[in-house]
Amino acid sequence: MPELPEVETIKRGLEKRIVKKTISNLEVLSPRSLQGKKEDIVLNQILEINRRAKVVAFKLSNNKNLLFHLKMTGQLIYRSVVGSRESVGSTTNYKLQTTDQFAGGHPDHNWHAKLPNSTTALVFDFSDGTHLYFNDLRKFGWCKVLSDEQLKEIWNEYGPEPFDKAFDAEYLMQKASKIPNRNAKQFITDQGIIAGIGNIYADEILFQSRISPLRKVKDIQFSEWKKIISDTKKVLEMGIKYGGTTDSDYLNAEGEKGGMQDHLNVYHKTGEKCPAGCGGTIKRTIVGGRGTHYCPNCQK
């Protein structure tokens, strides 16, 4: 599932391409992927794009919002196309002459070779002839049509963003005091505590902080929480800088692989020597049902 750096990269790429564009038509190829009314979307302009945690919201000119969650296999592809669409009965034929740039997500690399395809859930047509495709192989992702009030309610379910002022050691200590026996990995990936951190970046943050993912939060000291905060910002900033992590098939906003995988220290490094030079070996274990990578020698 894309984490904060990947979703932020996608958000920034889409901002460059679709803000101020008007949605002239919406084709719903997978009804379960759209939660809301088509008529609340069509003929409205996209005013801005925002990210919160791991989701992206399009603000529309009618004060509605489109909230996208890509889940495990979702993908948002923008294409500048010169061509035509022709509907024959229930079939739509696409006669594409040229294609330009596209934004990304977590696809199989072949999903974007032909659009739409069997994974395409939604097709947004813009008045200038360009298109945005929402692909999702497993159909776990979704697009919800929400009012400002409904969107705010969802936003409030998340903890502070890692770059917010509210994300400080006092806040984390207070949260930890309520669930003292939770381990560090599950704590920092709880979206109600911190927004946007998932499996990959949690492993990297805890390695930087030299905190074991198995450690109980009641045993983490104030100075260590401050270190976790500092390392969280550093790791996520790196993730954004390098356009996200391509663990398997993530594509960034330019339709290219991310670069953060070349800078990971422990994630998927099982059996390798600890990069900190402590003499330890990276181990893999399961924490909260997720594969977790750490150095037992220097992460305590």
Catalytic residues: 2-3, 54, 290
Tokens 């696809």 belong to residue: 107
Give DSSP secondary structure letters for 7-66.
HHHHHHHHHHHHTT-BEEEEEES-GGGEES-GGGTTT-BEEEEEEETTEEEEEETTSEEE
Yes or no: say if 204 and 260 are a contact pair by the CB < 8 Å rule: no
Q: Residue written as tokens 């890692």?
A: 162
* Percent of residues in the chain assigned helix, strand, coil, to nearest 5: 25, 30, 45
Q: What is the 3-state secondary structure (H, E, C) of 245-287?
A: CCCCCCECCCCCECCHHHHCCCCCCCCCECCCCCCCECEEEEE
Local structure of residue 105 (DSSP, 8 states): B
- Token code pair at residue 139: 């159909």
Name the helix (H) or strand (E) containing 188. Answer: helix 184-188
CB 208 within 8 A of CB 234: yes
